[in-house]
């Protein structure tokens, strides 16, 4: 993990204390579910998914986008990534295991499990599917059974349990189990939330929400406004990037479909800035540059639809952190990347950009 990524991640963690992964939290009052879900949204940033299985009654909802609601235009119903994401949700729900005697029902058995969607989505491509059951066991017994028979776990190639939660009021208590599956280039934030409420001392109601944010199969255009800067390995890192908001590369069709060229770089420099001022310059040899280039070219490029960010204010008043990475190539011009943190880390080459959090590299 580099210095910039450390600072970016610290900024996120400092504002996410309302929901702790794998720890319990408690809320109360009439808006119990909404508050619990908003707390989880602050930590993570974008979520969730839709699918109707044959012969099954499933509540579904798609937060569809209008033509101007997507970075790349209308969300195509025929996009293959949407079908892949739908299949992922179906997969999540089929993995749910409940105690013997569980009975599938077509609607919520109690009001507290009827509210939705499961999360307040920050993405236009958020889709989800809901199922309900009644179970002949107490709330605690049902939760214990599910935890002993996890639907998503490292054993089946998933990330596993993300966290737990509890919300309660004068006449109800709901416990949540949240699991996550690994992201792909077709979808991100594949979450499975299981909510359990007591219907009587020996009967529980269960709701399961399979969720994801599907990514378009076409890359997301880089539409940052403002002046762009051109940096080369020969010229080195500028001492300041004040007034610039993106980088500039020579026009290339290849850079409209991938962040970096397919051929191997011969080296690279990383220029790190705090509030536009250079704080560190690092040179990479060919081996390190090639490893970094492979990682960057593996980042998801599809659009998650129109984003309504819930975390942009988290860095208000903090130092602005930016990195420019310049790769050199044999027989062609250097290629620049803008690695910045606005509402979340992203990488752009002047033509296309990542939209979801890019993680560490």
Beta carbons of 175 and 144 less than 8 angstroms apart:
no
The predicted pLDDT at position 316 comes to: 54
Cα torsion 270, 232, 257, 50: sign: positive
The predicted pLDDT at position 76 comes to: 58
How long is the chain? 361
**Sole residue written with tokens 């130092």:** 319
Beta carbons of 162 and 130 less than 8 angstroms apart:
no
Chain-centre distance of CA 340, in angstroms? Answer: 17
The predicted pLDDT at position 233 comes to: 97
The predicted pLDDT at position 240 comes to: 97
Q: What's the average pLDDT block by block, 10 residues per block, for the chain (361 residues)?
A: 46 32 32 36 31 25 33 61 92 94 94 70 80 96 93 67 71 85 88 92 94 91 90 97 94 96 97 95 97 94 74 58 96 95 82 75 68
Question: For the whole prediction, is pTM greater than 0.85?
Answer: no
Q: Please state, in angstroms and rounded to a whole number, the distance separating the CA atoms of residues 223 and 62.
A: 26
Q: With 0-12 CB in 10 A as exposed, 13-18 as middle and 19+ as buried, what is 110?
A: middle
The predicted pLDDT at position 200 comes to: 92
The predicted pLDDT at position 224 comes to: 84
The predicted pLDDT at position 261 comes to: 97
DSSP letter for each residue of 141-165 = HHHHHHHHS-SS-GGGTS-EEEEEE
């Amino acid at each position: 993990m580099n210095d910039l990524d450390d600072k970016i991640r610290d900024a996120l963690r400092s504002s996410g204390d309302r929901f702790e992964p794998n720890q319990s939290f408690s809320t109360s009052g009439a808006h119990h579910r909404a508050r619990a879900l908003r707390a989880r949204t602050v930590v993570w940033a974008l979520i969730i998914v839709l699918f109707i299985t044959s012969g099954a009654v499933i509540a579904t909802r798609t937060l569809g986008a209008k033509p101007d609601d997507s970075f790349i235009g209308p969300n195509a119903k025929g996009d293959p990534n949407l079908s892949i994401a739908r299949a992922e949700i179906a997969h999540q729900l089929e993995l749910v295991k409940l105690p013997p005697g569980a009975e599938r029902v077509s609607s919520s058995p109690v009001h507290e499990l009827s509210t939705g969607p499961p999360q307040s989505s920050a993405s236009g491509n958020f889709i989800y599917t809901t199922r309900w059951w009644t179970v002949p066991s107490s709330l605690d017994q049902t939760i214990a059974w599910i935890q002993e028979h996890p639907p998503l776990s490292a054993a089946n190639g998933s990330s596993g349990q993300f966290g737990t939660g509890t919300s309660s009021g004068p006449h109800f208590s709901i416990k949540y189990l949240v699991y996550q599956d690994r992201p792909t280039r077709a979808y991100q934030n594949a979450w499975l939330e299981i909510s359990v409420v007591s219907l009587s001392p020996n009967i529980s109601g269960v709701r399961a929400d399979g969720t994801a944010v599907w990514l378009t199969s076409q890359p997301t255009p880089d539409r940052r406004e403002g002046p762009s800067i051109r940096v080369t390995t020969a010229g080195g890192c500028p001492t300041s990037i004040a007034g610039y908001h993106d980088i500039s590369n020579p026009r290339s069709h290849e850079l409209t479909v991938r962040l970096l060229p397919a051929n191997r770089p011969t080296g690279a420099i990383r220029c790190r800035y705090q509030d536009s001022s250079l704080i560190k310059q690092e040179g990479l040899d060919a081996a390190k540059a090639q490893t970094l280039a492979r990682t960057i070219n593996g980042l998801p490029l599809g659009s998650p639809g129109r984003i309504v960010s819930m975390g942009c204010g988290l860095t208000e008043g903090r130092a602005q952190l930016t990195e420019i990475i310049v790769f050199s190539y044999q027989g062609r011009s250097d290629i620049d990347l803008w690695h910045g943190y606005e509402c979340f880390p992203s990488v752009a080459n002047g033509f296309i950009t990542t939209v979801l959090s890019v993680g560490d590299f």
